[in-house]
Structure 1
Amino acid sequence: MGKLGRFACIFVPMALTLGSLICLILVFSGQLNKNNSLQRDLYFFKANTSQFVSNPDNEAVDEANKYFDNDLLKALQGAVSTNDLQDFYLVGLWNYCEGNQDDKTGKETVTKCSKREANYWFNPIEVWDLENTTAQKLFPDKMKDGLDVYRKVSKWMFAAYVIAICLTAAEFVVGIFAIFSRWGSLVTTIVSTAQTIFIMAAAITSTALYGTLVGVFETVLKPYEIKASTGSKMLSVLWIGVAFSIASGFFWLISVCCCSGKSGHKKVVVEKTPYTYERVASPYLGAAQHGHEMHPPVAGHGTSGSAYEPYRAQHV
């Protein structure tokens, strides 16, 4: 029952750790395969350019704090004419995917995904092929500053995700040894604590970073009807993984204090005394049968009152 109880105690945090690992794998898989609907729906950031307008009105320009520039507009118009500007862009951890949107049904079809890169960040100047235009230099300062921060922080964010998924896998493996002892639970708790720190850091960074990037796009590119949004499904999966991580750490800590795995029953070992006595068969020594005379015992030796019962010693 001890080992069985220990296994039951470890099962809950192991299941939660596995859940956190699955969530991180889903985050890593976002936008890696354009033919997989689940991976297509998992993105951190989306830029929708399907409603792009080439003649923004003055009111829209004023609302955007006059982040309007004729050179930028001409560059975007050129990108539309050469089909460099797609209807939407979906940004994942490793790359981005682009595609077209049906005007009648609104159905989106992914046509291409970029190659995978570590420390990836979405650069609209490069993606929209504006590198060789004056628009690259005439992007508003707010846009430039926002993209610069995004580029720098994305490196830390990617590293945090890689460390988090490695620690989650290690936590699951080390957790197997926790079945056999509390020391295993202690080591697993330490690994789980580190994993929780990194997955929370990655989640907070992603949420804040892409939320800020959406604000920059909405402010600067609003006159062109270029809209931006964060991926609710991706962030939901990510924060569910964080919740699993926190819960698993809590139960790993409990397993350090409870369910030792040892049986509550102890064997009782009774040692035999070095000498035991057993009764001699009657009549004593069978002397009368052979005609030998039996002498009465000497008083005080082997007697108790008037009764006398001889014993012989046997060494065990």
Structure 2
Amino acid sequence: MGKLGRFVCIAAPLLLTLASLICQVLVFMGQLNRNSAIQRDLYFFKANTKDFNPKPLSDIPDIPHTDTDNRLINALQGVSTSASLKDFYQVGLWNYCEGEIDASGKDTIVYCSPRKASYWFNPIEVWEFKDITPDQIYNDEMKKGIDAYSKVAKFAFAAWVIAAILTGVEFIVGIFAVLSRWGSVVTTVVAAAQTIFIIAAAGSSTAIYLTLAGVFRSVLAPYGIKAELGANMFAVVWLAVICSVAAGFFWLISICCCSGKSPHKKVVVEKAPYTYERVASPYLGAQQSGVESHAMAPVGGQGYGGHGAAYEPYREQRV
């Protein structure tokens, strides 16, 4: 029962580690295959440009750098006129996908960009603004937001990769934790490092896309461009974090509990020192070994050890 109990104790964190790894794989798969419904619905950020209108949909208060805003809108108008501006753009960890929205409101992805490590969504490249630099087209708010997003996106990508590698290592090492507590110690150390990186990855991803969506809403919402976060993607992201934290906790518990040793041990009774054992009679042999000893008076005046002695001989045994 010892090994069985150890296996049951390790099963919970092992399954949680596997669940976290599956969630991370889904994060990596988002937007990689436009023909997969699951991957299509997994995105960090979505910009809906179908209702773009170069004329403001509402009154815009006077704000600094209005001329810069106008240059951005004029550039977007030129792209929309040439049909280069798609109806929506979805951003994943490796790339982005773009598509069209029909009259019924159904989304159809028509193109996904090649995979790229440390990817970040660059509107100037995606919207094909030619011979335009960020300083020429962005106001201060949007420029700061895009710059921060591009830098943190690289960190977030690296954190996701490291977290996924550590999760795989944690799962493999965790299998050997069934054998001993030392396995749990090693797995707990790996799990602690993995938890740090996955929290960093999830936190930075959430922060940068919240920032990006806020910038789009404040600058481009008056012109009919909508921005939203991917609810499905962030649900998977934070589910991976929850599973990782829970697995780390159970790995730590497994160090102190469920040793894997059987609770039933053979008890050896040792004799106390200076006890006496009965010596079999040389006359009666082993038959006398079960007879109780009795002290009897000597007969015929023979002392202890004599031929007529009635005393039963004993020998001293030191243990």
TM-score by length of 2: 0.83
Deviations 1:124-161 (A, max 9, x none): 11100013247871321211111111111111111110
Give, in whole Å, the separation in 1 of the partners of 2:220 and 2:163.
Answer: 35
SS at match of 1:35: coil
Pairing 1:49-64 to 2, within 5 Å after superposition: 49-56=49-56, 59-62=58-61
Amino acid at match of 1:301: G
Structure 1 residue 222, shift from structure 2 partner: 1.8
Q: Which moved more, 1:45-54 or 1:70-79?
A: 70-79
> What are the superposed Cα offsets for residues 203-241 of structure 1, whole Å, 9 maximum, x if unpaired?
111111100111100111123211111111111111111
Alignment-mate amino acid for residue 300 of structure 1: Y
CA contact (8 A) 1:71 1:135 kept: no
Residue from 305, 313, 318 that aligns with 1:301: 305
Matched, 1:191 2:190: yes
The corresponding residue for 1:169 is 168
* Cα distance, 1:54 vs structure 2: 3.0
Q: Tell me, what secondary structure is at the counterpart of 1:180?
A: coil
> 1:67, CA displacement in angstroms?
4.7
Q: Who is 2:214 aligned against?
A: 215
Change (3 A) 1:54 1:6: same
Determine the structure 1 residue equivalent to 2:8: 8
Displacement of 1:61 after TM fit? Answer: 3.0
Q: Distance between the aligned counterparts of 1:259 and 1:4, measured in 2?
A: 9
CA displacement, residues 171-219 of structure 1 (integer Å, 9 cap, x when unaligned): 1111111111111111111111111111111111111110011110011
- Backbone CA RMSD of aligned residues: 2.9
Cα 1:209/1:300, change in 2 over 3 Å: same
Instruction: Give the fraction of aligned pairs with identical amino acids, expressed as a percent.
Output: 57
- Residue 292 of structure 2 corresponds to none
CA 1:304–1:94: 2 relative to 1, 3 Å: farther
Pairwise mapping of residues 1-316 of structure 1 onto structure 2 (< 5 A)?
1-56=1-56, 59-62=58-61, 67=66, 69-103=69-103, 105-133=104-132, 137-268=136-267, 300-301=304-305, 306=310
Q: Secondary structure at the match of 2:105?
A: coil
Deviation at 1:72, TM superposition (A): 2.6
User: Contact 2:100 / 2:110 at 8 angstroms: preserved in 1?
Assistant: yes
Change (3 A) 1:216 1:269: same
**Residues 64 and 222 in structure 1, CA contact (< 8 A), matched pair in contact too:** no
Per the normalisation by structure 1, the TM-score is: 0.84
Deviation at 1:267, TM superposition (A): 2.8
Which whole-Å deviations, capped at 9, do the CAs of 1:51-106 have from their partners, x for residues lacking one? 1113335x433388775744333321221122211000000000000000012x10
Q: SS where residue 34 of structure 2 aligns?
A: coil
Distance 1:134 1:17 in 2: 45
Aligned length: 295
**Any unmatched runs of 5+ in structure 2?**
272-276, 286-301, 314-319
How far apart, CA to CA, are the structure 1 residues paired with 2:3 and 2:30?
40
CA distance in 2, matches of 1:278, 1:270: 23
Query: CA separation in 2, counterparts of 1:47 and 1:87?
Result: 8
Q: Letter of the aligned partner of 1:88 in structure 2?
A: F
CA 1:63/1:223 → structure 2, altered by over 3 Å: closer, same or farther? farther
Residue pair 1:71, 1:134 contacting (<8 A) in 2 also: no
Paired with 1:45 and 1:63, the residues of 2 have a C-alpha distance of 28
Q: 1:301 Cα deviation (Å)?
A: 3.0
Alpha-carbon distance in structure 2 between the residues aligned to 1:64 and 1:91: 29
Letter of the structure 2 residue corresponding to residue 205 of structure 1: S
Q: Distance in 2 between matches of 1:153 and 1:187?
A: 31
Mark the CA change 1:278 to 1:162 in structure 2 (over 3 Å): closer, same or farther.
Answer: same
Give the 3 Å change call, closer, same or farther, for CA 134–212 of structure 1 in structure 2: closer
**Structure 1: 5+ residue stretches without partners:** 284-297, 311-316
Cα distance, 1:235–1:278 mapped onto 2, change above 3 Å: same
Q: Cα–Cα, structure 1 residues 182 and 161, in superposed 2: closer, same or farther, change >3 Å?
A: same
Distance 1:234 1:282, change over 3 A: closer
Q: CA deviation at 1:264?
A: 1.2
